[in-house]
Structure 1
Amino acid sequence: MRSSQTLPLFPLHAVLLPGAALNLRVFEARYLDMVRECGRNGSSFGVCHILAGGEVGAPATPAAWGVEALIEDFDVGPDGVLVLRLRGARRFHVGSTRVRDNGLVVAEVSWCEPDSDDELQPEHGLLGTLLEHILEQAGGEHAGAGPAQLDQAAWVGWRLAELLPLSEQQRLCLLQENDPQQRLERLLQWIPDFDVPEQEL
C-alpha cells in the first residue's frame, strides 16, 4: 500500500473498475457539492460498492475497496440532472470513514500499488482469445485494442471483468486481488458459469 489520503466517496450498487467508463447521474446536494469541490481543487473522488443502504438518502455503508473516479466529461440531461462521464483509475483500500454534516461519506484511503505489466501466461491464453472475440462482436471504445494490450495480464483481466456478465460481488472480489495473474485465474474458474458460445472459445 502507498501513502494515505482523504477521499470523498460516492457509494454505488455497482463496482467501478480500473480503466472502465461509467456514466453517473448526480442530483443530491451532497454530491453536487462534492463535484464542485473536485472541480475547484482539481481533485478526484472514490467509488465504492454499497454493502448496506441505498444510493440516495441516508449514508450507505461502503465496501473496504474502491476505485478513484476521474471526471472525463459532463453534461446536463433532458431532465436537468448533471451526468458525469467517469473513468476508473487507481485502486484503494478504505481505512476509516466519517460522515460530513451534509451526509457525504469521507474516507481515509491507502492507494494500492499499480498493476505490474506482466504478460499473459500460456495457461491464461484462452482469456486473451475470449476478450478479443468479445471486442470484435461488441465493439465499443476498446475495439481497436492491439496485440500489446491483449497480451497484458492486468489489462485483459480488467476488461473481462468489465465485459463479462459477472455479479458485483465477483467484481468486488477481483478488485481486492493485487496480483493480475490471480485475477485471471479467478476469471478462468468462473468461465464455465457463463453462457459463452463455443465458437468464441
Structure 2
Amino acid sequence: MNPALTNIPLFPLSGHVLPGGTMRLRIFEPRYLRMVREVCAQGDEGRIGMCMFNEHGSVEENTHIYPLATLARVIDFEHRDDGLLGITVEGVEACKINQISVDEDGLRRGQVELAHNWQPTALAEQYQHLAERLCQVYHEYPELGSCPTEDRLRCARWVCQRWLELLPLTADVKQELLNQPSCEPALDYLSGLIQESEN
C-alpha cells in the first residue's frame, strides 16, 4: 500500500465534492483546524478524505462514513470576518476507505485505496442536454465558478460528477451510482431526473 494512503484525515459532510469539483468550507472545530494545518504542511501532497455522511450509521462504530470518498487538496484559504477559517478544496481522485481509526480529539483517519471506477469517455449525443443544462446552471449561479470549458462539457464523467454534486440526492443513491463500473447508469438516472424536472 502507498504509505501516503494509510493515514488520510477524513471529513464527513452532508455536501459532496467529487474529482474535478471544488467546494468552499467554513472550519471551526479544533480537530478540523488541526487537519487543515497538517494537510497544508504537506504541500502539494497533502490530502483530505472528503466523505459522505451516513445519517443511518453509528459514530461510535464509524459506520456514519460511507466507503466511497474523494481525496481532495486545499487550494485556497482565508480568515473570515466571522472568525472562522474558510478553505476551498478541489477533488483530485476517487478512493475507497478500507479502515478507520480515531485520534484522541475525534478526528477520523482512513486507510484508503484509489478507486478507478469511471474511465473518461466522450458524452454521448443522447446526454448532450445534461451538458447544456449544466452550463445554464453555472450562468444562473456564478458562485459555482466560471462556466465549464468545452472539453469538460464533452467529458461524460465530468458532467456526471458535477450533477451528482449539485443535485439533492441522498448519499446512498450517490454511493450506488458511483459504485457502478461506468458512469452510464448515472447518466441514465440523471437524464431522467432532469427531463422530468423540465416537463
Q: Which TM bucket (shorter chain)? A: 0.7 to 0.9
* 1:61-100 aligned within 5 A: 61-100=64-103
Q: Which amino acid is 2:119 matched to?
A: S
Q: Deviations over 1:43-66 (max 9, x none)?
A: 111111111489xxxx78211111
Q: Which amino acid aligns with 2:64?
A: T
C-alpha change, 1:162 and 1:15, in structure 2 (3 Å) is closer
What SS does the corresponding residue of 1:64 show, helix, strand or coil? strand
In the alignment, the residues of structure 2 paired with residue 166 and residue 186 of structure 1 have an alpha-carbon distance, to the nearest angstrom, of: 11
Partner residue of 1:106 out of 81, 106, 109: 109
Q: Please give the alpha-carbon distance, in whole angstroms, between the structure 2 residues aligned to 1:12 and 1:186.
A: 23
Q: Distance in 1 between the 2:185 and 2:195 partners?
A: 17
Cα distance between partner residues in 1 of 2:75 and 2:135 = 26
Amino acid at match of 2:109: V
Q: Which residue of 2 aligns with 1:38?
A: 39
- Contact 1:15 1:171 (C-alpha < 8 Å) held by counterparts: no
Flag structure 1 segments of 5+ consecutive residues without an equivalent. none
Give the residue type in structure 2 aligned to 1:16: V
| CA separation of 1:81 and 1:182: change in aligned 2, threshold 3 A | same
Alignment check: 8 A CA contact 1:18 1:91 kept: yes
Q: What is the aligned-residue RMSD (CA, Å)?
A: 2.9
Could you tell me which amino acid in structure 2 is paired with residue 32 of structure 1?
A: L
How far apart, in 1, do the equivalents of 2:94 and 2:168 lie?
A: 21
Q: Deviations over 1:77-113 (max 9, x none)?
A: 1121111111122111111111111211111111112
Identity in percent? 28
Residue number in structure 1 paired with 2:24: 23
Residues 124-135 of structure 1 aligned to structure 2 (within 5 Å): 124-135=127-138
Tell me which residue corresponds to 1:189: 192
Go from structure 1 to structure 2 and tell me whether the alpha carbon gap of 1:60 and 1:53 turns closer, same or farther (over 3 Å shift): farther
Q: Which runs of 5+ in 2 are unaligned?
A: none
Distance 2:146 2:71 in 1: 20
Give the TM-score of the pair, scaled to structure 1: 0.81
What is the rounded CA distance, in whole Å, between the counterparts of 1:180 and 1:51 in structure 2? 22
